[in-house]
A and B are shown apart, each in its own frame.
Chain A
Amino acid sequence: MNPFTRFSIDHPWLVVLLTTLLVVAAALGAQKLVFKADYRVFFGETNPQLEAFEKMQRVYAKSDNIAFVLAPKNGDVFTEANLRAIQELTREAWQVPYSSRVDSVTNFQHTTAEEDDLLVRDLVPEDEPLASGQLAKIRQIAIHEPLLKKRIVSEDGSVTVVNVTLQLPGKDPVHEVPEVVKKVRAIRDAFVQAHPDITVYLSGMAMMNNTFAESSQKDSRTLIPLMFAMVAISIAILLRTFTGTLGTVAVIAYAIAATMGLAGWAGFYLTGPSSTTPIMVLTLSVADCVHILSTMFHEMRHGKAKREALISSMTINMQPIFLTSVTTAIGFLSLNFSDSPPFRDLGNMVATGVMLAFVLSVTFFPALLMALPLRVAAHDEKKRRNDPMLKLADWVIASRNWLLPVMTALIVGLSVLAPSNQLNDDFVKYFDQRVPFRQATDFMQQHLTGMTRIDISVDSGQSSGINDPDFLRKVEALSQWLRQQPETDHVDTITDTLKRLNKNMHGDDPAWYKLPDNQELAAQYLLLYEMSLPYGLDLNNQLNVDKSSTRIVATFKNLTSREIIDLENRIHQWKAEHAPDLKLEVASPSIMFAHIGQRNIVSMLEGTFTALVLISFILGFALRSMKMGLVSLLPNLAPAGMGFGIWALWEGEIGLGLSVVAGMTLGIVVDDTIHFMSKYLHARRDLGKPTLEAVRYAFVSVGRALAITTAVLATGFMVLAQSSFKVNADMGLMTAITIVIALIVDFFFLPPLLMRVDKNQGEQ
């Protein structure tokens, strides 16, 4: 036994005190741990889609937004009372921190020709009363205006949006978004109170960012205590010990506190995925204590005194606990290959937590068990003879001849289905229907437009080139083509403005609703128009400073990643066919998310492979056999393959959260294999038992412990699966599935396999 464990058993109170002090010192760092409410955290700095998007934002303007979605209960936006209310909200919305622009139906800059002049004014004038005929006119203009239709006003005129564009400085992402949302909610509350006949929903990118933080914080408040309670209750029932339960809970709590604290000291941010660290550490560190306790109780029932039983348990368990902790940590460290920083953080934090839990389990835990009174419940000897594990072992041995082919078929059959999963990262569906952001966004998609957005920057390649009629015709053709796509809800393009201005300049004659046919005319219209626009409603978000390029913003129904990538390809194809000389750049958060799953899976394949090689080395070393190391590969790899196969049959869509599961679970499922195979080899080598007997021995000695730890692990990850944040929920569910499959494989596939490959040496 190592000197630290020995010291802990000899000086329990000192160790408990010292550990507590160290843990408190580490845990103090947790107050530095703050949540970064920004979807951009999912993308590494060199992510090409992020780079393209950031560049576009630097050229034009940032496009984070808040959408106040307004649904008057009378079903008509265009009553005087409702329009005045919208006007009031539009004015109030300017008070949102970092707002740079507010677009609504009331402040839409409507242009008309009056005699020889161009009149540019709010569609709903502020100070004048609305004459009765005017309401109908405003309605007509609004629901036909291409800039408003389906973006600001629904086609039936029943729902409208007040859209606030934000320029978040990004210097303090932890506080900027919550500050915005706090003000937005205050405005909403005051508005709803003053206008109870208008329903208000809040959507937009800033709301989504905030929801990342809020849903994770809600998870932390509800899921972590739930998990603690479940662990405490299951240990108390299974092992019937108060001190043991208390000790286990203390080890877990210390491990979590120290992990989160160290992450804080190290300057980590919390994000959706990494905020699941406490639940994961909690789940993964239970096993260490369960193994120590069950061996110790076994020894005590066989007459050993508490101290001797503890020493014996620590000696027996040290190596397996260490090995399983290291393999688990390696599995999580493989997340460092991920393209998405939050998963790298998650991997590093959980790996730290697992190793801390190991250290605590072999120092603090024995000390605590020594320091506190401990009794063992009397054991029912009859139970032993009726051990279900023994029955299971006998059944597996008897059925080995058909189990092996059947299980093999099952493994292969399910694994080949794995690639048929469709990649999809839809950031709206990251949140389930319980989440207000999701409700608001679904409502908005139903009446106006979805959150899928693609920005296209079209570069003419020359200064003032956007006024060139030839260029404008191409931009118009692209805009029209976009409008014809079945997924399209809205296209915002400068050519609509120019066509309208041309009409205005010709006495509002509809025949002139077309692009000006010479460059000077287009340039001078725009100059005149720009000079007539008020603060915040300018064209700078559509034109670059040199007027050499313009941005088209297209919004679509909510699409899957595959559909977005398909759309992106179609845009490039259109360009190749119709305007090969145009320089097009396509970027947006939707496109970033559409590619992240794919990128992450590719990067994680590498990570998982590296982890597999490392873990196989450790296994070969631990099992002291190259052949057995190779045999163990099958039960270690099969669960992930089968898990994804089942997922393909059941859900069929995988995203960011699932892309890391294979690497993550590898380190966990390997634990079962280590325990089972080391007991089997112990029986073969040290006890000289034949193959069948060795299988029986392995079942009886670790079968129950494996079943218990699998139950605890599966429960823990199922708790995580209850998260309202889909990335975490899917990750939890898939991990739980994989872990349960791993146990099935270890019970029904591994033993028949061992009996087959080990035959010639064992069968006597």
Chain B
Amino acid sequence: MNKRMLWIALLSLLPLLVQAETAEEKGLAIAKEAKARDTGWKDMQASMKMVLKNAQGEESVRTLRIKALEVEGDGDKGLTIFDQPRDVKGTALLSFSHPVGDDEQWLYLPALKRVKRISSRNKSGPFMGSEFAYEDLTSFEVPKYRYKYLRDEPCGEDTCFVVEQVPTDKNSGYTRRIVWIDQSHYRLHKVEFYDRKNSLLKTLTFSNYQQYLGKFWRAHRMEMVNHQNGKSTVLEWSDIRFDTGLSDKDFNKNSLKRAR
């Protein structure tokens, strides 16, 4: 092949490259915008009820309380206190999430009166036996994924960006997620999770959005359906409060033991 032909061949590939870059850039831009719109909430407290269901129709309820603290330039800090089932009442989970690398987690076990560190590489397992993995519940950070904008699609009365997100952490349980983000408020409407063999594993849908502090949208109901085992889990949020005066000292091993 002579030089000119090579140039022509390379130039003819250019539009493809530009297009591919655009889709990825657009995906990234959407993620950044979503994060930007959800920045500045400082701290939050809420109650959560988890309803687990299996294919036989059996149900089980767990209740917990959640405290979260926004950390500038890093992942959020979280404190989860378990109220139900009764035999884990008072158990509390402290987590420091990080945009890159493993999160840090500690669990306080009241029956042992000890704090145990959890090897958080394994964040892909089920959270309290539910269909949510721990990684589905941690704070959204832009560097956690690589992005690709796919298309626009109507969602309810709104229009959604449909974006593919590929986890950058090799310990993730997923090959990719597909998310639906509405264009008016950059809220999540739906997430599809694809397992290691790239087949659809779960679908998460968000509903009952309410706005707080005139800015931050929170879904009060999140339903995760596992398509492979027929189980599902519904998260019902209530009593969401922002700006409650939490600070760093509420999120350390000592505060973990005091939490109840």
Nearest residue (CB) in A for B126 is A538
- A544 contacts B228, CB within 8 Å? no
| Chain A residues, CB < 8 A from B52 | 545-546
Are the C-beta atoms of B85 and A533 separated by less than 8 Å? no
**CB-based nearest A residue for B173:** A535
| With A524-B110, A528-B107: A540-B126 Cβ-Cβ less than 8 Å | yes
CB–CB B119/A120 < 8 A? yes
Within 8 A of A (CB), among B134-187: 134, 171, 173
Question: Chain A nearest CB: distance from B110 CB in Å?
Answer: 7
User: Contact: A523 with B87, CB < 8 Å?
Assistant: yes
**Complex contacts, B122 vs chain A, CB 8 Å:** 120, 532-534
Cα A186 to Cα B124 in complex, Å, equals 28
* Residue B129 is within 8 A (CB to CB) of chain A in the complex: yes
What 1/0 flags go to B224-253 for Cβ under 8 Å of A? Answer: 000011110000000000000000000000
Q: How many A-B Cβ pairs are below 8 Å?
A: 142
Q: Do the beta carbons of A543 and B173 come within 8 Å of each other? A: no
Asked if A99 CB lies within 8 Å of chain B CBs, one says yes
Bin the interface of chain B by size. 35 or more
User: Do A524 and B230 touch across chains, with their CB atoms under 8 A apart?
Assistant: no
> B258 at the A/B interface (Cβ < 8 Å)?
no
Q: How far, in whole Å, are A534 and B228 apart by their CA atoms in the complex?
A: 17
Do A118 and B118 touch (CB < 8 A)? yes
Interface centre among A59, A100, A547 (most CB of B within 10 A): A547
- Bound-state CA distance A120–B116 (Å) is 12
Known: A528-B109, A530-B125, A535-B125. A547 touches B60 (CB 8 A): yes
A539 CB contacts on chain B under 8 angstroms:
129
Q: Is the CB of A55 within 8 A of B85?
A: no
Q: Mark A59-76, 1 if CB is under 8 A from B, else 0.
A: 101100000000000000
- Per-position contact with B for A153-191: 1 when CB-CB < 8 Å, else 0? 000000000000001010000000000000000000000
State the Cβ distance, B72 to closest chain A Cβ, in Å: 28
Give the docked Cα–Cα distance between A439 and B53 (Å).
Answer: 41
The answer to whether A532 and B87 have CB atoms under 8 Å apart is no
B 96-132 binary contact with A (CB < 8 Å = 1; else 0): 0000000001010111101111110110111111000
Q: Verify if B22 is at the interface (C-beta below 8 Å from A).
A: no
Identify which of A518, A530, A535 contacts B111 (C-beta below 8 A): A518
| Residue in contact with A527 in the complex, picked from B58, B86, B128, CB distance below 8 Å | B128
Q: Is the Cβ of A505 less than 8 Å from the Cβ of B112?
A: yes
Give complex CA distance A218, B127 in Å.
48
A535 touches B54 (CB 8 A): no
With known contacts A55-B56, A95-B196, A463-B60, A524–B229 Cβ distance under 8 A? no
Q: Which residues of A contact B124 (CB under 8 A)?
A: 534-535
Query: Distance (Å) between the CB of A64 and the closest chain B CB?
Result: 12
Bound: A447/B60 CA distance, A:
41
- B118 vs chain A, min Cβ distance (A): 5
- When the two chains form their complex, are residues A100 and B228 in contact, meaning their CB atoms are under 8 A apart? yes
Query: Does A336 belong to the interface (CB within 8 Å)?
Result: no
Inter-chain contact A524/B59, CB cutoff 8 Å: no
Contact of B207 with A by CB under 8 A? no
Cross-chain contact B111 with A536 (CB below 8 angstroms): no
- Mask, A540-564, CB within 8 Å of B = 1, is 1001111110000000000000000
Q: Are A523 and B129 in contact (CB under 8 A)?
A: no
Does B45 reach chain A (CB closer than 8 Å)?
no
Chain B residues in 8 Å Cβ range of A535: 124-125, 133, 173, 195-196
Q: In the complex, which residues of chain A have a beta carbon less than 8 angstroms from the beta carbon of B10?
A: none
Tell me the A260-280 residues at the B interface (CB within 8 Å): none
Query: Please, how many angstroms separate the alpha-carbon atoms of A694 and B118 in the complex?
Result: 95
Report A541 CB to chain B, min CB distance, Å.
9
Whether a CB of chain A sits under 8 angstroms from the CB of B197 is yes
Partner of A519, one of B87, B125, B195: B87
Interfacial chain A residues near B53, Cβ < 8 Å: 545
Verify if A308 is at the interface (C-beta below 8 Å from B).
no
Cα A525 to Cα B107 in complex, Å, equals 10
Complex Cα gap A523–B109 (Å) = 10
Which residues from chain A contact B127 at a C-beta distance below 8 Å? Answer: 531
- What distance in Å separates the Cβ of B234 from its nearest Cβ neighbour in chain A? 12
What's the nearest-Cβ distance from chain A to residue B30, in Å? 27
Please tell me if the beta carbons of A119 and B119 are within 8 angstroms of each other in the complex.
yes
A251 to B171, CA, bound (A): 65
Expressed in whole angstroms, the minimum distance between the Cβ of A680 and any Cβ of chain B is 64
Contacts of B231 in A (CB 8 A): 540, 545
- Does A94 touch B at the CB level, under 8 Å? yes
Q: Which residue of A lies closest to B198 (CB)?
A: A95
A532 CA to B196 CA in the complex, in Å? 19
Residue with the greatest number of chain B CB neighbours at <10 A, chosen from A119, A169, A531: A531
Residues of chain A with a CB closer than 8 A to B58's CB: 59, 544-546
The answer to whether A531 touches B85, judged by C-beta atoms less than 8 angstroms apart, is: no
Q: Which of A62, A116, A118, A543 contacts B129 (CB 8 A)?
A: A543
Give the docked Cα–Cα distance between A547 and B196 (Å).
28
Contact B114 A116 (CB under 8 A): yes
Question: CA–CA, A528 to B119, complex, Å?
Answer: 10
Interface centre among A58, A100, A119, A545 (most CB of B within 10 A): A545
Query: Please, how many angstroms separate the alpha-carbon atoms of A532 and B121 in the complex?
Result: 8
Q: In the complex, A534→B112 CA distance in Å? A: 24
Chain A residue nearest to B87 (CB atoms) is: A523
A98 interfacial by beta-carbon distance below 8 Å: yes
In this assembly, does A40 line the interface, its C-beta being within 8 Å of a C-beta of chain B? no
Q: Would you call A59 and B173 a contact (CB within 8 A)?
A: no
Q: Mark A593-622, 1 if CB is under 8 A from B, else 0.
A: 000000000000000000000000000000
| Closest CB in chain B relative to A121 CB, distance in Å | 6
- Contact: A531 with B118, CB < 8 Å? yes
Closest to B56 in A: A58
Whether A100 lies near B229 (C-beta < 8 A) is yes
Contact of A547 with B197 in the complex, beta carbons under 8 Å:
no
Which of A100, A525, A547 is within 8 Å of B85, CB to CB? A547
Q: Residues of B contacting A94 with CB < 8 Å?
A: 196-197
Known interface pairs A97-B197, A524-B111, A532-B125; A544-B86 also in contact (CB < 8 Å)? no
Q: Does chain B have a CB within 8 A of A208? A: no
B253 to chain A, nearest CB (A): 11
Assembly CA distance A743 to B157 (angstroms) = 80
Alpha-carbon gap, A515 to B63, bound state (A): 27
A546 touches B60 (CB 8 A): yes
Residues of A within 8 A of B173 (CB): 534-536
By a CB distance below 8 angstroms, the chain B residues around A62 are: 229
Looking at the assembled complex, report how far the CB atom of B50 sits from the nearest CB atom of chain A, in whole angstroms: 10
Interface string of B80-98 (1 = CB under 8 A from A): 0010011110010100000
CB distance from B111 to the nearest CB of A (A): 4
Bound form: Cα–Cα A121–B196 in Å: 19
Q: List 16 A-B contacts (CB under 8 A).
A: A62-B229, A117-B116, A120-B119, A120-B122, A169-B228, A463-B85, A505-B112, A520-B87, A520-B111, A521-B111, A528-B118, A534-B122, A535-B173, A536-B173, A540-B229, A546-B58
9 closest Cβ pairs, A-B complex:
A535-B173, A535-B124, A523-B87, A546-B60, A58-B56, A520-B111, A58-B55, A533-B125, A545-B52
20 further A-B pairs in the complex, CB-CB below 8 A; given A58-B230, A523-B111? A97-B197, A118-B116, A464-B86, A505-B112, A520-B111, A524-B110, A524-B111, A528-B118, A530-B125, A531-B93, A533-B122, A534-B121, A534-B125, A535-B173, A536-B173, A538-B129, A543-B129, A545-B52, A546-B58, A546-B59
